[in-house]
Structure 1
Amino acid sequence: MTAKSALVLGAGIYQVPLIRHVQDRGMRAIVLSIPGPYPGIALADEFVPVNTTDERGVVQIARDWGVSAVLTTGTDVALRSLGAVVDELCLPGPSYETAFRATNKLDMKRALAAGDVRTARFVEIRGSSQAEAAWDELLRTHDADIPWNGVMAKCPDRSGSRGIVRARSRGDAHSAIEQAIGASLCGYALMEEFVEGHEIGVDGYVDERGSIALMALHDKVVMSNGSTNVPVGHRMSAGFTKECLDQTDIAEQVARTARAIGMRSCFYNMDVLVDDAGRAWVIEVGVRAGATCIPEVVGGHLGFDYYDAMVDAALGEQPVFPRSPLRGASEGRLLLTMRPAVAAQVDIASVLSPIEARHRLTLDASLDYEPGEDLPRFENGTSRIGQVACVGDDPAAVSIAVDEASVALVERYAQERR
């Protein structure tokens, strides 16, 4: 009997665990990606050198291989192709229409507004000459009960915090929009009112009926790149979840967002801002699992394998999610370097063991580059050189252990380029 095949879109570092989980389930992993130094290529049972944005090409490959599932994680670029395969082969997952809404911030914002989701007011801008007029329009119609804090210029079709720039004054708006348009593939940008508050993440799953089957709330660890705060990690705890659910309307806004985007049988990743009044504002949403250690953090805290759940869903098997946390806290962090560096040979276990012994916790880490390879300097969410994660009962102890492990690993791994 021929093994089932699953089409995995992308061969980057975030797809590697998904490829392995597909194979662990006895399926052939058919991996699509442009050629390059992507770690998933060597792991694939079959590698097909096709751009994951080539919707017709991806659909044809899915037909040729007779795949039983189509999956991706941690990336937006392949979602429209994934939706096209879902529609054409009648597979479980987000439809093309849903994927389209979730991969263009303009279409997304229009859908959220039409669905009565609380989201920042916005203006579409086709050229930087419109920036000052857009600023004036947003300021003129601004709710006087909310402090005016400037605007965000956003590239609508890129991820990883690329092309997102805050403008605090009218004079800054022109430059911010130029940067946003310059980062875009579509040639236009959004300007939206900046809402002050605390940004958190929400990941989960929407079942085939459109009901929220999983809603995991996680706090963000951010680092500034000079233009905006970039998420570089996430943390969960039972106390944080209870506080968010008790003191905000986040559950209602998440449900409205799922309906507005048209989610069915798909995982989701949302950026949500909570203001001082306890109101949840939806910033943006993706119809795939989040990156930046989110599967490890959510799965570790709740006690299930997030990647296995992705495979279940793609096969049409309803994932089973725990009703209560397994451990009190979990945290994951990207490893980053601020200086020009090359990768050194590192024994991860020897670096982590003293920290684990000191805190009586277990740490898990991985490094992305081979010894001697150039390491990227931190600019955005794609600049990672590895990651570290930890699960425990005390949120403070978990954070301290992750901090120490991050510093120790980067110090040993990122050697100064000569």
Structure 2
Amino acid sequence: MVLGAGVYQVPLIKQAKSMGIETLVVSVPGNYPGFAFGDKIYYEDTRDYEKILEIARNEQIDGIVTTGTDVAVVTIGKVCDALGLSGLSFEAGKTATDKMLMKQKYEEYGVRTARYRRISLMGAEKEKQQDSHSRFENQDKDSKFIEYLEKELEGLQFPLIFKAVDTSGSRGIVKAEDSSKFVEAYRAVRENTRKDYFIVEEFLEGEEFGAQSFVCRGEVQFILPHGDYVFQGDTGVPIGHWAPYELEQSVIEDAKEQLQKAVKAMGLDNCALNADFILSGGKPYVLEIGGRAGATCLTELVSLYYGYNYYEKIIQAALGLPVDFASEKACPNVGMLLRSENTGVIQEIVNRNDREDKQIVEIQFDYQVGDEVQAFRVGPHRIGHVVVQADTLEEAKHKMEEALGNIEVWVSIP
């Protein structure tokens, strides 16, 4: 069973079918490309774990998996626990998809991470409602609410990051340079969360990087640090990645240690890991870890770097089969999202790249001429991607610049 039918689940579905596996695709109704490839389709909300468990029991599935999204991770844990399947547990799934629970575990197990505060939405709303007819009619009248948050956040240093605890794709995450941004940040969180709380943490100044990894039968199988290209909107949004990532060996070993401690703290096992770090003051801090493979071409990054099909490994692990992650290959590669600066309708797509160029692994367009697209602000606004490889990282980055320069997507502005 594959949870999700979006662009990041399509390669997973195709790989399962190529392995001769009957594939059930579950997603809410919509124009999702994965529906075209599943053997069976169920139009259900992947967050409804009781309903998904019922389907899984009826279908007698042998494995359940997703990639590129946090939405379905709790459901995977629920089904794995109930049916004795290979995968992360229900409790680990809840921790991996709630930044508040994650932070609590990190503190408990001594994982190096940013200082934070838990803020109750109910408490914040109470402050707003008490003065809703006077102080909150315009920006100048938000002072009482700002004072409330300042008191709650006392001891933390600016800049701060407001975070919805149950979202992915950078939704509901806003940076506040000072208290004047509190009202805006709070509204963004409130509009994107289903929880009755959120967190605010210190924004660590430094260099962000990520790591892909896999934990199987309690052992971390590999750790691949990667560089991140980041779009600066309300907060940093990943738009691309590259490997290998140049770090001092001492920093890499420290990052591995922090990752292993975080995995133990969260109780993660038999799943892919998508980790975000920031190098601040010469030390790696764990921002968060997801219990699934990363999006934004990260599964392709692992496959190219190690020379095996990472989607196949993910599926084998989900089926409880033996999995060998050993590799002596290290192929430099770069993946980048295609994005639109404007919201509008695609008028023309031009790709002047040579289809025979072996360094260009894949160019994918998610939309066609006549489709409406969004101005890029968060990950799901992508309109496609490009993946390249080369003998050296410098060559791969140069090839990416060249490939992107040969692509034009014309979008009309309403």
TM-score scaled by length of structure 1 = 0.89
Q: C-alpha displacement at 1:340, in angstroms?
A: 3.0
Give the one of 152, 161, 169 matched to 2:178. 169
Unaligned runs of at least 5 residues, structure 2: 128-144
What is the aligned counterpart of 1:258 among 257, 263, 272?
263
Q: Give distance in 2, aligned partners of 1:99 and 1:389.
A: 30
The one-character-per-residue Cα deviations of 1:351-386 (angstroms, maximum 9, x if unpaired) are 2218x76xx733411111133211222110110110
Give the one of 76, 85, 94 matched to 1:91: 85
Check the 8 A contact 1:125/1:131 in 2, yes or no.
no
Q: CA deviation at 1:242?
A: 5.2
1:279–1:139 distance in 2 versus 1, CA, 3 Å: farther
Alignment check: 8 A CA contact 1:236 1:331 kept? yes
CA distance in 2, matches of 1:131, 1:214: 45
After superposing on structure 2, the runs of 4+ consecutive aligned residues of structure 1 that deviate more than 6 Å are: none
- Equivalent positions of 1:98-113 (< 5 A) are 98-113=92-107
Q: C-alpha separation between the residues in 1 aligned to 2:146 and 2:213?
A: 36
Task: Find out whether 1:189 has 2:193 as its counterpart.
Answer: no
Number of the residue aligned with 1:75:
69
Q: How far did 1:339 drift?
A: 1.6
Partner of 1:224: 232
Q: Is the 8 A contact 1:149 1:195 kept in 2?
A: no
Structure 1 unaligned segments of length 5 or more: list them.
1-6, 143-147
Amino acid at match of 1:26: G
Structure 1 residue 297 displacement after superposition? 1.2
Superposition deviation, residue 246 in structure 1? 4.7
The SS at the match of 1:353 is: coil
For 1:347 and 1:407, locate their aligned partners in 2 and report how far apart those are by CA, in whole Å: 11
Contact persistence 2:316–2:323 (CA under 8 A): yes
Aligned to 1:414: 410
Whole-angstrom CA distance in 2 between matches of 1:371 and 1:26 = 34
Which residue in the other structure is 2:211 paired with?
A: 202
Offset at 1:197? Answer: 1.2
> How far off is 1:170 after superposition?
2.6
1:316 maps to which of 314, 317, 320: 320
C-alpha spacing 1:87/1:241, structure 2 compared with 1 (3 Å)? farther
Number of residue equivalences: 393
SS of 2:277's equivalent in the other structure is strand
Q: What letter is aligned with 1:361?
A: Q
Q: Cα distance 1:266–1:187, how it changes in 2: closer, same or farther (>3 A)?
A: same
CA distance in 2: counterparts of 1:217 and 1:157, whole angstroms: 25
* Aligned mates of 1:132, 1:204 — CA distance in 2: 42
- Give the 3 Å change call, closer, same or farther, for CA 55–136 of structure 1 in structure 2: same
Match of 1:307 among 297, 304, 311: 311
Q: What do residues 115-170 of structure 1 show as CA deviations (whole Å, max 9, x unaligned)?
A: 11111111111234476455456553x5xxxxx44211101111100111111113
Q: For the structure 1 residues 64 and 43, does the alpha-carbon distance in structure 2 shift closer, same or farther, using more than 3 Å as the test? A: same
Of 103, 114, 118 in structure 2, the residue corresponding to residue 124 of structure 1 is: 118
C-alpha distance in 2 between matches for 1:313 and 1:270: 19
Residues 315/271 of structure 1: CA separation in 2 closer, same or farther (3 Å cut):
same
Q: Which moved more, 1:73-82 or 1:122-131?
A: 122-131
* Cα shift at 1:302: 1.7
Corresponding position of 1:367: 365
Letter in 2 for 1:15: Q
Q: Secondary structure at 1:160's aligned position in 2?
A: coil
Report what 1:275 is aligned to.
280
Aligned partners of 1:78 and 1:247: how far apart in 2?
30
Between the aligned partners of 2:225 and 2:162, the Cα distance in structure 1 is 26
Question: Residues 385 and 273 from structure 1, CA distance in 2 versus in 1: closer, same or farther, beyond 3 angstroms?
Answer: same
How much does 1:323 deviate? 3.9
Query: Secondary structure at the residue paired with 1:67?
Result: coil
Instruction: Pick from 15, 19, 33 the counterpart of residue 39 of structure 1.
Output: 33
- Contact kept? 2:212, 2:225, Cα under 8 Å: yes
Q: Residues 344 and 316 of structure 1: is their aligned pair in 2 closer, same or farther, counting only changes over 3 Å?
A: farther
Structure 2 CA distance for aligned equivalents of residues 223 and 290 of structure 1: 17
Partner of 2:43: 49
C-alpha offsets along residues 175-212 of structure 1, whole Å, 9 cap, x if unaligned?
3223222221214211111111111111110011x221
Partners in 2 of 1:368 and 1:94 — Cα distance? Answer: 30
The range that moved more, 368-377 or 317-326, is 317-326
Corresponding position of 1:334: 337
Q: Distance in 1 between matches of 2:164 and 2:373?
A: 26
Q: Summarize deviations over 1:205-247 as a string: whole Å, max 9, x none.
A: 0011x2211111101001112x11110011002xx35535556
Q: Secondary structure at the match of 1:393?
A: coil
Q: State the alpha-carbon separation in 1 of the partners of residues 369 and 250 from structure 2.
A: 45
Question: Match for 2:367: what amino acid?
Answer: Y
